Amino acid sequence: MKYLFLFFFLSSTAWAESDSAILSLEDLLDSPLINPPNNVDVSTASKFSQTIKNAPSAVRVMSRDDIQLFGYRTLGEILRSMPGLFTSYDGQNTFLGARGIAIPGDFNTRVLILIDGIRLNNNVFDSALVGNEFPLDVDLIDRVEYVPGPGSAIYGNNAFLGVVNVLTRGAASLRGAEASLEYGSFNTSKLRASMASRLDNGMEYLVSATQFRRGGPDHPVYMDYAIAAPEFKGNPATDSDLSRYLFAKLSMGGLQMTGAFASREKANPVLIGSVNSDESVAVMIKNGKTLNDSLHSFIGLTYDFEAFSDWNMQARLNYHEEEYKGHFPEYFFSEDLNTEKMIVFKENYKGRWWDGELHALYNQLPEHKILLGVEGRVNAEQFWHSYAEGFNTEKPMQQSSSYYAFFAQDEYKFADHFTLIAGARYDYTEYGNHFNPRLGLLWDPLDKTYIKLLYGSAFRNPNFFEQSQNKASNFRDAGAEKITTLELVAEHYLTPAAKLNGSVYHYKMNNLIGQSYIGNNLIYTNLQKIRSTGFETEFEQWFDSGIQAKLAYSLQKTTIGNGTELFNSPRHMLNFKFLLPFADSRWKLATELRYLSSVDIFYGMLPKQWLADMVLNGDINKNCSLSLSIHNLADTSSFEATRYLNFDRYSIKQDGRDIRLKINFRY
Provide, rounded to whole angstroms, the least separation between the CB of residue 75 and another protein: 17
461 beta partners: none
493 binds another protein, rule: CB under 8 A: no
Stretch that binds another protein, among 269-277, 477-485, 508-516, 582-590 (CB under 8 A): 582-590
**Kind of pairing, strands 604-606 and 481-495?**
unpaired
Residue 369, by phi and psi: left (phi above 0), alpha (psi -120 to 50) or beta? beta
Residues 1-40 that bind another protein (CB under 8 A): 1-3, 6, 9-11, 13-14, 21-37, 39-40
- Residues in contact with another protein, shown as a per-residue x/- string from 396 to 435 under the rule CB under 8 A: ----------------------------------------
Which of 47, 57, 59, 61 contacts another protein by CB under 8 A? 61
- Residues in contact with another protein, shown as a per-residue x/- string from 541 to 560 under the rule CB under 8 A: -----x--------------
C-alpha angle with apex 87: 560 to 183, nearest 5 degrees?
Answer: 170
Which of 368, 417, 476, 586 contacts another protein by CB under 8 A? 586
Rounded distance, CA 24 to CA 21, Å?
Answer: 9
Provide, rounded to whole angstroms, the least separation between the CB of residue 299 and another protein: 21
**Binding residues for another protein, how many (CB under 8 A)?**
65
Which of 584, 603, 635, 636 contacts another protein by CB under 8 A? 584
Which of 49, 400, 433, 495 contacts another protein by CB under 8 A? 49
**Which are the contacts of 484, defined by CB distance < 8 A and separation ≥ 6?**
150, 455, 456, 457, 507, 508
Closer by beta carbon to another protein, 59 or else 111: 59
Closer by beta carbon to another protein, 310 or else 389: 310
66 binds another protein, rule: CB under 8 A: yes
* Residue 263 exposure: Cα atoms within 13 Å on the Cβ side: 7
- Residues in contact with another protein, shown as a per-residue x/- string from 122 to 161 under the rule CB under 8 A: ---------------------x------------------
536 beta partners: 503, 554
Which of 297, 312, 398, 402 contacts another protein by CB under 8 A? 312
- Residues in contact with another protein, shown as a per-residue x/- string from 248 to 277 under the rule CB under 8 A: -----xx-----------------------
CA of residue 630 relative to chain centroid, distance: 22
Sign of the four-CA dihedral 220, 225, 229, 235: negative
Q: Which long-range contacts (CB under 8 A, 24 or more apart) does 587-591 make?
A: 587/616, 587/617, 587/618, 587/619, 588/69, 588/546, 588/616, 588/617, 588/618, 589/614, 589/615, 589/616, 589/617, 590/69, 590/70, 590/71, 590/614, 590/615, 590/616, 590/617, 591/615
Residue 78: how many other CB atoms lie within 10 Å: 24
Residue 218, by phi and psi: left (phi above 0), alpha (psi -120 to 50) or beta? alpha
Rounded distance, CA 596 to CA 56, Å?
Answer: 28
204 binds another protein, rule: CB under 8 A: yes
CA of residue 301 relative to chain centroid, distance: 23
Provide, rounded to whole angstroms, the least separation between the CB of residue 547 and another protein: 10
Closer by beta carbon to another protein, 197 or else 473: 197
- Closest to 71 measured CA to CA, from 503, 519, 662: 662
Q: What residues make contact with another protein under the rule CB under 8 A?
A: 1-3, 6, 9-11, 13-14, 21-37, 39-41, 43, 48-51, 61-63, 65-66, 143, 170-173, 175, 197-198, 200, 202, 204, 253-254, 304, 312, 361, 363, 369, 546, 584-586, 619-622
